[in-house]
Amino acid sequence: ATVDWDAPLNARTTPMTFGVADYEVHNPADAADPEFNAFLRRLDSPFIRIHRGDFPRQWLNEAQTAWDVEKIKTAWNALRESYGDAKIMLNLSSFPSRMTDERGMIRPEFESEYVALAVELMRIMRDEVKADVHYWEVFNEKDGNPDKAGYYK
């Protein structure tokens, strides 16, 4: 096959094609940064993906067993206005460190506990933080070798 680089494209893009990745909301002090907040407001993005490679560890208590609701509220409230009308995707990209093996994968005996923790965060965001999270993304690049994707070995 060949590509005709001069041929017109019969496609279009919308503002939702591109978005902003935010990891500052994971830490209340970073979330409260006035320069970052001003930057987000200037961008006025229709889509914000909240992502950090080792999240959810930042929003859990020290023992990594429960959500630190006050920390979540403080961080979220610092950025709430700056998010504007953006659709929010919250990425649960990893697991609490106590649940993982040496490769960073969840150990089978913690799978049900992790699901309960994720569901509890969804409830907290909806009922206590009053955040309108439009999309939830669970895991991020947790597939290891392609021939073993999705399987714990």
Structure confidence by residue, pLDDT tens digits, 93-125: 888 989 988 888 889 999 999 999 999 999 999
**Does pLDDT of 153 surpass 60?**
no
As given in the structure block, the two tokens for residue 117 are: 């923790």
- Among 94, 70, 83, 95, smallest CA distance to 24 is for 83
* Residue 118 neighbours by CB distance under 10 Å: 15
pLDDT digits (tens, 9 = 90+) for 74-92: 999 999 999 999 999 999 8
The long-range contacts involving 58-62, CB below 8 angstroms and separated by at least 24 positions, are 58/26, 58/27, 59/26, 59/121, 60/96
Phi first, then psi: give them for residue 29, nearest 5 degrees.
-65, -40
pLDDT at residue 112 in the model: 95
* Residue 60 neighbours by CB distance under 10 Å: 20
pTM score of the predicted model: 0.81
d(CA 37, CA 116): 32
* Residue 27 neighbours by CB distance under 10 Å: 17
**Does pLDDT of 130 surpass 60?**
yes
pLDDT at residue 152 in the model: 47
| DSSP 8-state assignment for residue 2 | -
